[in-house]
Chain A
Amino acid sequence: MVSIDGRADSKSLIRARGLGKTYRRGGEQIHVLQGLNLDVDASDFVAFMGPSGSGKTTLLNLLGGLDVPSEGSVTVAGDEITRMSGAKLTAWRARHVGFVFQMYNLIPVLTAFQNVELPLLLTGLSKAERRSHVETALAVVGLDDRMRHYPRQLSGGQEQRVGIARAIVADPTFLLCDEPTGDLDRKSADEVLDLLDRLVRDHGKTVLLVTHDPRAAEHARLILHLEKGVLVESVTASPPR
Chain B
Amino acid sequence: MAGVDRLVVLNRVSIIQPLPLAYRDRLAKIPGVTKVTFANWFGGVYQDERNFFPQFAIDREHYREMYPEFVVPDDQWQAFLGDKEGAIVGEALLERFKWKIGDRIPIKGAIFPGNWEFNIRGVYRGRRPQDDTTQFWFRWDYFDERKPFTKGVVGWYVIRIAKPDDAVRLVKVIDEQFANSPTETKTDTEKAFAASFVKQMGNIQLLIMSVGSVVFFTLLLVTGNTMAIAVRERTRELAVLKAVGFRDGFVLALVLVETMAVAVVGGGLGLALAKLFTLRGDPTGGLLPFFYVSPPSIAVGLGLALAVGLAAGFLPAVSASRLRVVDALRRI
Closest to B238 in A: A107
Known contacts A103-B236, A103-B332; decide if A118 and B244 are in contact (CB<8 Å).
yes
- Interface of chain B: mostly helix, strand, loop or mixed: helix
- Range class of the B interface residue count: 10 to 19
Report A64 CB to chain B, min CB distance, Å.
8
A166–B244 CB distance below 8 A: yes
B325–A66 CB distance below 8 A: yes
* B:232-276 near A, CB below 8 Å: 236-237, 239-248
**A66–B329 CA distance with the chains assembled, in angstroms:** 11
Asked if B22 is an interface residue, CB under 8 A from chain A, the answer is no
For residue A166, which residues in chain B have a CB less than 8 angstroms away from its CB?
244
B245–A66 CB distance below 8 A: no
Chain A 126-153, CB-CB to B under 8 Å as 1, else 0, gives 0000000000000000000000000000
Asked if A228 is an interface residue, CB under 8 A from chain B, the answer is no
A67–B326 CB distance below 8 A: yes
B243–A93 CB distance below 8 A: yes
Closest to A58 in B: B326
Report B257 CB to chain A, min CB distance, Å.
15
For residue B326, which residues in chain A have a CB less than 8 angstroms away from its CB?
61, 66-67
Closest to B239 in A: A105
B244–A101 CB distance below 8 A: no
B245–A90 CB distance below 8 A: yes
Asked if A122 is an interface residue, CB under 8 A from chain B, the answer is yes
User: When the two chains form the complex, which single residue of A90, A91, A93, A101 contacts B329, counting CB atoms closer than 8 Å?
Assistant: A101
A107–B245 CB distance below 8 A: no
Asked if A45 is an interface residue, CB under 8 A from chain B, the answer is no
For residue A8, which residues in chain B have a CB less than 8 angstroms away from its CB?
none
Asked if A42 is an interface residue, CB under 8 A from chain B, the answer is no
**A156–B242 CA distance with the chains assembled, in angstroms:** 23
For residue B325, which residues in chain A have a CB less than 8 angstroms away from its CB?
66
For residue A87, which residues in chain B have a CB less than 8 angstroms away from its CB?
247-248
Chain A 74-93, CB-CB to B under 8 Å as 1, else 0, gives 00000000000011001101
**A83–B243 CA distance with the chains assembled, in angstroms:** 18
Report A107 CB to chain B, min CB distance, Å.
5
Q: How many residues of A contact B (CB 8 A)?
A: 22
Report A218 CB to chain B, min CB distance, Å.
26
**A119–B326 CA distance with the chains assembled, in angstroms:** 19
For residue B242, which residues in chain A have a CB less than 8 angstroms away from its CB?
90
**A94–B243 CA distance with the chains assembled, in angstroms:** 8
A93–B236 CB distance below 8 A: no
User: When the two chains form the complex, which single residue of A67, A86, A99 contacts B244, counting CB atoms closer than 8 Å?
Assistant: A99
**A105–B245 CA distance with the chains assembled, in angstroms:** 15
Closest to A109 in B: B237
**A61–B326 CA distance with the chains assembled, in angstroms:** 7
**A66–B248 CA distance with the chains assembled, in angstroms:** 13
User: When the two chains form the complex, which single residue of B244, B330, B332 contacts A94, counting CB atoms closer than 8 Å?
Assistant: B244
For residue B243, which residues in chain A have a CB less than 8 angstroms away from its CB?
64, 66, 93, 99
B245–A94 CB distance below 8 A: yes
For residue B239, which residues in chain A have a CB less than 8 angstroms away from its CB?
105
**A123–B243 CA distance with the chains assembled, in angstroms:** 15
Chain A 183-219, CB-CB to B under 8 Å as 1, else 0, gives 0000000000000000000000000000000000000
Known contacts A67-B326, A101-B329; decide if A107 and B240 are in contact (CB<8 Å).
yes
For residue A93, which residues in chain B have a CB less than 8 angstroms away from its CB?
243-245
Closest to A176 in B: B243
Known contacts A61-B326, A67-B326, A103-B236; decide if A91 and B244 are in contact (CB<8 Å).
no
Closest to B325 in A: A66
Report B236 CB to chain A, min CB distance, Å.
6
For residue A86, which residues in chain B have a CB less than 8 angstroms away from its CB?
248
Known contacts A66-B325, A101-B329; decide if A122 and B246 are in contact (CB<8 Å).
yes
| Residues in A lying within 8 Å of B, measured CB to CB | 57, 61, 64, 66-67, 86-87, 90-91, 93-95, 99, 101, 103, 105, 107-108, 118-119, 122, 166
Q: Report 17 cross-chain contacts, Cβ distance below 8 Å, ordered by A residue.
A: A64-B243, A66-B326, A90-B245, A91-B245, A99-B240, A99-B243, A101-B240, A101-B329, A103-B236, A105-B236, A105-B237, A105-B329, A107-B237, A108-B237, A118-B241, A118-B244, A119-B244
Instruction: A57-B330, A90-B242, A95-B245 are known; give 12 further A-B pairs, CB within 8 A.
Output: A66-B325, A90-B245, A90-B246, A99-B244, A103-B332, A105-B236, A105-B239, A105-B240, A107-B237, A107-B240, A108-B237, A122-B245
